[in-house]
Amino acid sequence: MSARNSIWILLGLLLVLFYVASSSIELIVEYIWFHTQDYGQVFAVTIGTKLALGLVAGAASFVFLAINVMVAVRELGDPARYLPAELQHTPMGQLLTPRTIKRVGLLGSLAIGALAGFSGSNGWESWLLFLNGGSFGAVEPIFGKDIGFYVFRLPFIDQVQSFAWSLGILALFAVGLLYFLKMQADRPDIGPARTINLASFSANARRHVAVLAALLLLDLAVGVYLQRFELLHQPGGLFTGPGYAEINGALPMLALKSVAAVVAAFIVVYALLRQRYRFLLGGVALMLVVWIGANIYTTVLQRFIVAPNELEKERPFLGFHIEATNRAFGLDTVEERTLARDTELTTQDITNNRATVHNVRLWDHEPLLDTFSQIQEIRTYYEFVSVDNDRYMIDGELRQTMLSPRELSSRSLPSRTWVNERLTFTHGYGLTMGPVNRVNEQGLPALFVQDLPPRTVKPELSITRPEIYYGEIDNDYVFVRTRQKEFNYPEGDLNIFSDYEGDGGVPMGSLWRRLLFAAYFRDIKVLLAEDFTDQTRVMLFRNIFKRVTMIAPFFKFDQDPYMVIHAGKLMWIMDGYTTSSRYPYSEAVQDVGNYIRNPVKAVVDAYDGSIRFYLVGPTDPIAQAYQRIFPGLIHALSEMPAGLRAHLRHPPDFFNIQTQMYATYHMRDVNTFYNKEDQWEVPVIEQKRMEPYYTVMRLPEEAKEEFILMLPFTPRLKDNMAAWMVGRSDGDHYGKLVVYAFPKQKLIFGPKQMAARINQDPQVSQQITLWDQSGSNVIRGTLLVIPIENSLVYIQPLYLRAEDGRIPELKRVIVGYQNSIAMGLDLDDALRKIFGSDGRPTETSATRAAAQQRATEMSSASPMGVESGSARAMQHYEAMQRASREGDWSRFGRELEELGKTLRELQTRKP
């Protein structure tokens, strides 16, 4: 062996050793971490199943390939004779012995077996669901099989069939190549360019190839047979699942294809063993005729039988599709209510629904996040990632709030030394929270919780453990309980330091742990640091998405986790989904599948990182299967503290999918669905689809207000309102969907129509123009649809940001109701302009033009005197001063408008 070859072999061994060592270190660290989180059983079951499946798949592949290769090698004889004559007596020819070839064959089989083992271990989840999956309690209408067969069992069966096919192809290719080499040596007169005569193969070779070919054809027959079941969740032209042409054409033809493959297997064996090679052509012809004929037959059925009578032929299957899609997305239990005819709202109606009005969200997420970032981040290394909607009982009332955790971003540290990033600046601190509908005199959000350390104005929101070690920012690992004090929060020009007092993280006290984590982090400083003590702990996997997906990778988690104040601590709540793409006859949603549920809530402690999973959807069969696979992983909802249960909410990602599907699949009548007579869509305003929003309101026919998620619908290609859907979140109503539909005979303005009317309103457009001319940036907030009684009120906030500023300020609120548009300094002001004291809609900008014309005509007959006008101006000025002292900024704004009107009238009457 040459020195160069020895070096390459050594390098290869070193790479293998490095990979094995690196993988082993990662495995050991994960083992320790899982046990510190009390999820050691999850780790053991997962790794044990992967190992077992990998060994079985690898061993089966090695044995199967090795046997086939050894049989073929035995037929080769002396391998040196396959070399050119001038090379047969060289060192290469002497090296090429039967033993060498066998070793190469075994090593090749071992390598492929190892790869097959790695591939097979990836099927651990399918195998566990195959063993533990239960019933869905419903059967599909074609074969009468439980849905669980398609979701739990068929995926693993498909994987086994595909694995066997790949293995058979590899074996046939390997032995075919060896036998071809043997034939070339035995019959040198047959060159590569000439036609290969199968009679040139030995009898043993023919038998061997015949067996492998037959096994492949039998495996193909199994695969074709399984395709019959796959049809039930494959998309078609009109709907997902088999229709008339598939049931009467594709399904029988698939069965015929499967039989043809079995027959072809026997033909191949007979032809090769009996040397009747013309029969091989017959087998090939049989397969081609059946395959092509089956496709032609199905196409003919579709084009000449189904297409001319599509509705009648597809009617029963379209019904299966509608029913299955509603079940798969949890829409079969939607409660549908029809609203009474729209009645005119009065001041008393507004008063009776004060809880709804007081919880209208006037702060959008983006402007509020910008504002929080400017007034509450305090230091550059703090960051507000997102704003979360929630509700709290404050002063005995249910109040909707918006809050944002103040996380620490190590990337933004002014001095990014190892000590600063790993030992000193370890955590964020506190949060900022305020009501959704209140502003201060500067137009900035009023706050319930603010500053550092957190200062609360409501005892219900007190925070005793404000440190945030685990959050949404993808921060790296840190060490706590070291000799280096941790930065806690700034206080004026001083910094307050502290020591970690919790049980989070992994102990680092021993030398071998330091060695292990130094290798894991590839950081020698972990081993050499002098600040570590026997109590030092390392906090890793601090991103909450990473934490929960490491323990439960089989759940998909919502991208909008939200923080909750519970018993003085800060807790993250995350929504976990179960999904599948194999629900028969159900329509699929991109990147989701054709089945989804939200059965799991994950709660992560922001201080110590502890994780608990709770089952909120006990009827979901997939979640039940994982409960059987991992006993103790998911806890009953009754074990969740009542304070946390009060903050559960219907998740927006799930609700978005449900509304998307319900817009079409609320049409349960087949005729209506086929003709799309009553299809809805989510409104689009300025090329942007409306997003669901949380609010607190009293639903029609309900006794009290509750926290709901809402989205309106309009008829497809029309702009008027058709209905609105809510996802309920409180108490026993959690997860229930209700749809309120408007009578079709009455026109109700939709969001797009109301947005257009607001844009055309003279007062609104004039005010925005004035702001634009002054160089300010006007930000239009989300147009909200707020149901009150059986009517709708539209509300849109307006924010103003200075040309060179970054802080948006809430300056106006626009309210639209029926034909009236009003703009006020706040919501109460705008509502007051629409609803007068007598309970009827009063003068608004929609009728103001005519009123101004009448006023002009009257003023020519009885002009206002300068003295009386001056007196009125002084009255308004004094009223403004009183309102300022009392903090009544709504009245201040009204008096300011009246003062301006009076001064303009005085200006026009000046002699």
Three-class SS of 432-497 = EEEECCCECCCCCECCCEECCCCEECCHHHCCCECEECCECCCCCCEEECCCCCEEEEEECCEEEE
Measure CA 733 to chain center.
Answer: 24
- pLDDT beyond 90 at 848: no
The angle, 0 to 180 degrees and rounded to 10, between the axes of the packed helices 866-886 and 889-908 is 160
pTM: predicted TM-score of the whole model, two decimal places:
0.87
Mean predicted confidence (pLDDT) in 104-132: 93
> How much is the pLDDT for 887?
56
Mean predicted confidence (pLDDT) in 875-897: 69
> How much is the pLDDT for 198?
57
- pLDDT beyond 90 at 236: no
Share of the chain above pLDDT 90, in %: 67
The angle, 0 to 180 degrees and rounded to 10, between the axes of the packed helices 40-76 and 203-230 is 150
> How much is the pLDDT for 443?
86
Residue 723 DSSP SS3: strand
Look at the block and give the residue holding tokens 């920012």. Answer: 473
Mean predicted confidence (pLDDT) in 393-403: 94
Round to whole Å and give the CA distance between 387 and 368.
8
Inter-CA distances, 87 with 169, 180, 181, 186, Å:
33, 20, 17, 18
- pLDDT beyond 80 at 101: no
- pLDDT beyond 50 at 732: yes
> How much is the pLDDT for 856?
39
Averaged confidence pLDDT in the chain: 87
pLDDT, tens only, 132-143: 999 999 999 999
Round to whole Å and give the CA distance between 39 and 41.
5
CB 272 within 8 A of CB 198: yes
Among the listed ranges 223-237, 405-419, 791-805, which one has the minimum average pLDDT value? 791-805
- Burial state string for 840-849 with b = 16 or more CB within 10 A and e = fewer than 16: ebbebbbebe
Identify which has the larger pLDDT, 846 or 399: 399
Share of the chain above pLDDT 70, in %: 88
Q: Which residues contact 143 (CB under 8 A, 6 or more apart)?
A: 228, 229, 232
Round to whole Å and give the CA distance between 336 and 725.
9
- pLDDT beyond 70 at 185: no
pLDDT, tens only, 73-99: 887 766 655 555 555 555 655 566 667
Among the listed ranges 51-65, 386-400, 861-875, which one has the minimum average pLDDT value? 861-875
Mean predicted confidence (pLDDT) in 292-309: 91
Closest CA to 707 of 448, 335, 389: 389
Round to whole Å and give the CA distance between 287 and 267.
11
Angle 615-619-622 (CA atoms, 0-180°, nearest 5)?
Answer: 80
Burial class (CB in 10 A: 0-12, 13-18, 19+), 571: buried
Round to whole Å and give the CA distance between 833 and 391.
29
> How much is the pLDDT for 703?
86
- pLDDT beyond 90 at 221: yes
User: What token pair was written down for 584?
Assistant: 């028969």
pLDDT, tens only, 778-791: 999 999 999 998 88
> How much is the pLDDT for 862?
35
Mean predicted confidence (pLDDT) in 422-429: 96
pLDDT band at residue 104 under the 50/70/90 scheme: confident
- pLDDT beyond 80 at 12: no
Q: Which residues contact 65 (CB under 8 A, 6 or more apart)?
A: 108, 109, 112, 113, 167, 170, 171, 174
User: What token pair was written down for 388?
Assistant: 């979360």
Among the listed ranges 415-419, 522-526, 832-836, which one has the minimum average pLDDT value? 832-836
> How much is the pLDDT for 850?
36
Maximum mean pLDDT: which of 86-95, 97-106, 745-754 = 745-754
